[in-house]
Structure 1
C-alpha cells in the first residue's frame, strides 16, 4: 500500500515483465535495529529475516488463515492473491483477485489489496480494481460484494481493511488504483475516505479530510482505530478513539510521526499495520516495519532493505510475515501477536 514516487516509477518500469515468483536466492535479508530496550521483550535483534519467496510486482495485504494453516497475500498490480504454506511454498489462490476481464486503461491496480479474515471465516478483501469491499468463501472462492458505493457514488480504489465489532468492517479508499489518481475521470467521490461498513450493511464516513489514507487497524479492545497516511507532507499514523457505535467520539490524534526517517530518504512510506494482543503496532514506514509501543514510541525496526508494504502474525502467532516490495519474508517473535 505504499505508493511513493519511487514505487510508481518502479511499477512503470516493470509493467511489461511477466510474473515469475521464485524461491529467494538468499535465505535471509536485512536486519533488526533496537531503538529502545523494550524491544528485547518482543524480538531478538539477532533473529534472521527469512525470505520465503520473491519475484512479485508489489507484495501486499498478508493474512493468516488459522483454519487452514496458511498465509494469503496479494500482488496488487499482477491481480493475484497467493497462498503460502510451510512445505508447499507459494501457489495462486485467486486469479484474478480483483477486477475480471479486460482491464480499462483508467485502472492502474486491478487486483485485491488489503486482506482480513472475519469471524465467519470469510476472506474480506479491499478490491482495488473492482473498487469495492468483498467477501470470499475460502472453500468455494465465491465472491460477494459487501460495499461499492457511498451515497450512490463509487469508491476510488479500496485499499485496506480491518474487522471491528459484530462484523463491522473499517476500510480506506485512496485513489492509488486509478491511473490518474485524484484527477481520474473515473473518480466519483470528492474525497479520499476512511469508512465503516456496519453489520447491517450501511456505509458511514469516519474521516473525509485525509489526502492519502492507507493502512488501517484496531486496538485489541476495538476502542481505538489506527490509520496510516502515505502522505509525504503528513507521514503519520492517526489514532481515533471510538464510541460504542464504532464511530469516532473525538478528533484523531497523531499516534506516530515518521517525518524523521522520511527526511533521511529511507525506502517507503507509512502503509499497512497490525496490532498485537498487547497493543503494540507493527507498522510499515520509511525503512521497514516499525515496532511501536501502545503509546506510539518506536521500539525498533525490522528492515529488509526495501520498502515494506504490510505485515501479519501467523503460524503459532509468534511469526511476523512481511510483504516487502517484491518479496515475502518472515521473522520469529518472542511474543505472540494474537
Structure 2
C-alpha cells in the first residue's frame, strides 16, 4: 500500500472520528490536502470526466464529504436509498417538479431516435411518483424500495419534455425540446387528471426556438426564465439551430420575450437565489451529441447578478466547474448551497463556489428536487431519496 493510500485512510478515520456525533452513516471524508500532489506513479489518474473521483474506492451509493460544513446540509442521519428502479431504461432523466399539496414528484424520461419530418416515434414520457407511498415503504425497511411510477397521458403537443418547475398558479410548468418541425414550447399542465395542457409560448417573434431545456420562475414574480441549447439538433430530432444558445425572459402577463444572457455552448440548468438577486446557469458544452464529447468545453456553472429593473443577467463569472460529467439540473437550498446533477451523482457547493460534498452514486444523476421526504435524485434508470437536513427554497415555509 502506498504512503498516499495509508494517509488517505488515516485522514478518513481521523476526520470521521472527530465528527462521529454529527456524521451520517457511512459518510466518507476526503481531505483535499492529501491529493494536491500525487506524483507520476499515482495509479488513479482520471483520463475522462466520465470516471468519478472516489480515491477511497468506497462502494456507492455513499455520502462523500470534502468539507465539514457539508454536515450542515446532510444532518446526522442522512442515507441514500433507492425508491424506484427500471434497469436498462432511462425512465428518470429530466424535469422534476414537486407538488407539496399532493406530495407527488413529476418527471420525464429521455426521448430520442432519428429525425423524420413526417413524425417522431419515440417521444419522452412524463411520469409521477407518490412520495406518501415512498415514505410508507421506507418506514417498513432499512433497505431500498421500488415504488411503481405512474405514466401521464399528455396531449400530443407536449413532445420531448426536458425541463420543469412549479407549482405555477397550481399547474406544472414544462418546457419541451420539440420534435421535427413541432416547435419547442412552454406548457402548463394540470397536475390532476385529466392532465389537460395549455401551450403558452412556442416562438421568439415568429422564430422557433432550438430546443428548450430548463425553466425557473424569478422569486416573488410570475416571470419565467428558460434556457435554449441546440440539443434537439445535436441528438438528431430537431432541425439545425437558427438562433444562438441563449437564456430568455418571458413575462406571461404582457407576452414579452427577450434575451437576458448569451455566449454559451449549451446552456442547460437554471436557478435563482431566494432573494432573486443572483442567477445560476449551467453550461453542458462538454456533451456535443453527434459532435461527441469534448472535455475542453464547459462543464461549468456560471453566476450572474440579476439587474433589478430590466432583470437582465449581468457580471457573468464562473461559479464552479464539475470534475465529473457536467452540471445539468440545479437547485438551491435555503442556506445558499448549490446542488447540481453531475456525472457521478449530486455535487454540492457552498455559496462561495467551494465543493463541500457529493451524494456519490458512481452514475449520472441529471436532475434533483427537494421534497418533504428529502432530496429526490433522478439517476436515469433509478430514483433515490436522501433524507437530508437542508431544505429547498419552495419548502422553506412548509
TM-score range for the pair, normalised by the shorter chain length: 0.7 to 0.9
Higher helix share: 2
Residue number among 331, 334, 338 corresponding to 2:386 in the alignment: 331
Distance change (3 Å), C-alpha of 1:98 and 1:248: farther
Distance change (3 Å), C-alpha of 1:80 and 1:131: same
Taking the aligned partners of 1:155 and 1:177, their CA distance within structure 2 comes to 10
Q: How does 1:278-293 map to 2 (within 5 A)?
A: 278-293=335-350
Please say if 1:87 is aligned against 2:133.
yes
- For the pair shown, the structure with the greater C-alpha radius of gyration is 2
Q: CA RMSD in A?
A: 2.5
Taking the aligned partners of 1:116 and 1:132, their CA distance within structure 2 comes to 14
Deviation at 1:332, TM superposition (A): 0.8
Taking the aligned partners of 2:201 and 2:320, their CA distance within structure 1 comes to 30
Q: Greater shift after overlay, 71-80 or 151-160?
A: 71-80
Deviation at 1:255, TM superposition (A): 0.9
Residue number among 162, 177, 188 corresponding to 1:135 in the alignment: 188
Runs of 4+ in structure 1 over 4 Å off? 96-100
What is residue 126 of structure 1 aligned with on the other side?
A: 175
Secondary structure (helix, strand or coil) at the match of 1:135 reads strand
Taking the aligned partners of 1:120 and 1:84, their CA distance within structure 2 comes to 21
Distance change (3 Å), C-alpha of 1:98 and 1:278: farther
Q: How does 1:212-291 map to 2 (within 5 A)?
A: 212-232=266-286, 233-245=297-309, 247-248=311-312, 250-258=314-322, 261=323, 266=324, 268-291=325-348
Taking the aligned partners of 1:291 and 1:67, their CA distance within structure 2 comes to 27
Please say if 1:313 is aligned against 2:370.
yes
Distance change (3 Å), C-alpha of 1:97 and 1:234: farther
Deviation at 1:201, TM superposition (A): 2.1
TM-score (norm 1): 0.79
Deviation at 1:179, TM superposition (A): 5.4
TM-score (norm 2): 0.68
Taking the aligned partners of 1:303 and 1:280, their CA distance within structure 2 comes to 17
Would you say the 8 A contact 1:114–1:161 is kept in 2? yes
Q: How many pairs does the alignment contain? A: 294
Secondary structure (helix, strand or coil) at the match of 2:169 reads coil
Secondary structure (helix, strand or coil) at the match of 1:62 reads strand
Secondary structure (helix, strand or coil) at the match of 1:149 reads coil
Would you say the 8 A contact 1:29–1:51 is kept in 2? no
Deviation at 1:287, TM superposition (A): 2.1
Q: Greater shift after overlay, 52-61 or 296-305?
A: 52-61
Would you say the 8 A contact 1:82–1:90 is kept in 2? no
What is residue 49 of structure 1 aligned with on the other side?
A: 80
Distance change (3 Å), C-alpha of 1:64 and 1:117: same
Secondary structure (helix, strand or coil) at the match of 1:251 reads strand
Would you say the 8 A contact 2:266–2:283 is kept in 1? yes
What is residue 115 of structure 1 aligned with on the other side?
A: 164
Would you say the 8 A contact 2:301–2:318 is kept in 1? yes
Q: How does 1:165-184 map to 2 (within 5 A)?
A: 165-178=220-233
Taking the aligned partners of 1:301 and 1:248, their CA distance within structure 2 comes to 32
Secondary structure (helix, strand or coil) at the match of 1:150 reads coil
Please say if 1:203 is aligned against 2:245.
no
- Which structure 2 segments of 5+ residues have no match? 1-47, 51-58, 112-122, 135-146, 287-296
- Which structure 1 segments of 5+ residues have no match? 7-27, 101-109
Higher strand share: 1
Q: Greater shift after overlay, 322-331 or 55-64?
A: 55-64
CA deviations over 1:40-87 (Å, ceiling 9, x no partner): 111158732111112242522212101211111111315211111132
